[in-house]
A and B are shown apart, each in its own frame.
Chain A
Amino acid sequence: MNAISSATRHQHFSIARISAISSNTLLELIRLKVFYFMLIFALVIIGSSFFLVKLTFQAQFQVLKDVALGAMSIFTWLLAVLSTAMLLPKDIEDRTLYTILAKPVPRLEYLLGKLIGVLLLLFVAISFMSALFVVVLYAKQQSAIAELVARSGSDGAAAEIRSILSETFTWNLVPGIIFIYLKAALCAALTLLLSTFASSTIFTIMVSVVIYIIGHVQPIARDYVVHSHGASSATIVWLTLESLLIPDLSAFSLVDDIAAGTAISMNLFLQTAGMGGIYVIVYFLVGYFVFWFKEL
Chain B
Amino acid sequence: MPSDRAASPFSVSTPAISIQNLTKEFSIPFKREKVTAVKGVSLSVEPGQVYGLLGPNGSGKSTTMKIVLGLVSPTAGKTEIFGRDSADVESKEDVGFLPENPYFYKYLTGEETLHFYGKLCGLKGAKLRDRAKELLNLVGLEEAADRRLGGYSKGMLQRIGLAQAMVQEPHLLVLDEPTAGVDPAGSREIRDLILDFKKRGITVLLCSHLLGQVQEICDRIGILHRGALIREGRLDDLISIENQTEIILENASPELLAEIQSLVAKTPARILDQRKPHTTLERYFLEVTGSK
Q: Contacting A17 at CB < 8 Å: which of B70, B120, B169?
A: B120
Closest chain B residue, CB of each to CB of A14: B122
Q: Determine how close the nearest CB of chain B comes to the CB of A12; give it in whole angstroms.
A: 8
Asked if residues A24 and B105 are in contact (CB atoms below 8 Å), the reply is yes
Most chain A beta carbons < 10 A, residue from B102, B105, B123, B161: B105
Asked if residues A5 and B66 are in contact (CB atoms below 8 Å), the reply is no
Asked if residues B120 and A295 are in contact (CB atoms below 8 Å), the reply is no
- B96 — which chain A residues lie within 8 A by C-beta? 102
Question: Which listed segment binds A: B13-21, B85-93, B184-192?
Answer: B85-93
Q: Contacting A7 at CB < 8 Å: which of B66, B123, B161?
A: B123
- B103 — which chain A residues lie within 8 A by C-beta? 94-96
Given contacts A5-B9, A10-B93, A103-B92, contact A98 B71 (CB under 8 A): yes
Closest chain B residue, CB of each to CB of A3: B127
Whether B6 sits at the interface, judged by CB under 8 Å, is yes
Given contacts A16-B124, A28-B105, contact A98 B119 (CB under 8 A): no
Asked if residues A27 and B107 are in contact (CB atoms below 8 Å), the reply is yes
14 example contacts (A-B, Cβ-Cβ < 8 A) are as follows A2-B5, A5-B168, A8-B93, A9-B122, A21-B120, A94-B104, A95-B100, A96-B102, A98-B71, A98-B102, A101-B71, A102-B174, A103-B117, A105-B89
Asked if residues B69 and A11 are in contact (CB atoms below 8 Å), the reply is no
Chain B residues packing against A (C-beta within 8 Å)? 5-6, 9, 26, 66, 69-73, 89-90, 92-105, 107-108, 116-117, 119-124, 127, 131, 161, 164-165, 168-169, 174
B interface footprint on A167-197 (CB within 8 Å = 1, 0 otherwise): 0000000000000000000000000000000
Most chain A beta carbons < 10 A, residue from B121, B123, B165, B169: B121
Whether A220 sits at the interface, judged by CB under 8 Å, is no
Asked if residues B6 and A1 are in contact (CB atoms below 8 Å), the reply is yes
For chain A, give the interface size range: 35 or more
Given contacts A99-B102, A99-B104, A103-B117, contact A4 B97 (CB under 8 A): no
Asked if residues A295 and B101 are in contact (CB atoms below 8 Å), the reply is no
Q: Determine how close the nearest CB of chain A comes to the CB of B12; give it in whole angstroms.
A: 15
The 8 closest A-B pairs by CB, nearest first: A102-B97, A94-B103, A8-B122, A20-B119, A2-B6, A31-B107, A1-B9, A95-B99
Closest chain A residue, CB of each to CB of B6: A2
Closest chain B residue, CB of each to CB of A21: B120
Residues of A83-140 whose CB lies within 8 A of B:
94-96, 98-106
Asked if residues B169 and A11 are in contact (CB atoms below 8 Å), the reply is no
Q: Determine how close the nearest CB of chain A comes to the CB of B158; give it in whole angstroms.
A: 13
- B122 — which chain A residues lie within 8 A by C-beta? 7-11, 14, 16-17, 104
Asked if residues B99 and A98 are in contact (CB atoms below 8 Å), the reply is yes
- A20 — which chain B residues lie within 8 A by C-beta? 116, 119-120
Give CA–CA (A11, B93) in the complex, Å.
Answer: 10
Asked if residues B168 and A103 are in contact (CB atoms below 8 Å), the reply is yes
- A244 — which chain B residues lie within 8 A by C-beta? none
Give CA–CA (A182, B161) in the complex, Å.
Answer: 38
Q: Determine how close the nearest CB of chain A comes to the CB of B203; give it in whole angstroms.
A: 14
Asked if residues B71 and A10 are in contact (CB atoms below 8 Å), the reply is no
- B6 — which chain A residues lie within 8 A by C-beta? 1-2
Asked if residues A99 and B117 are in contact (CB atoms below 8 Å), the reply is yes
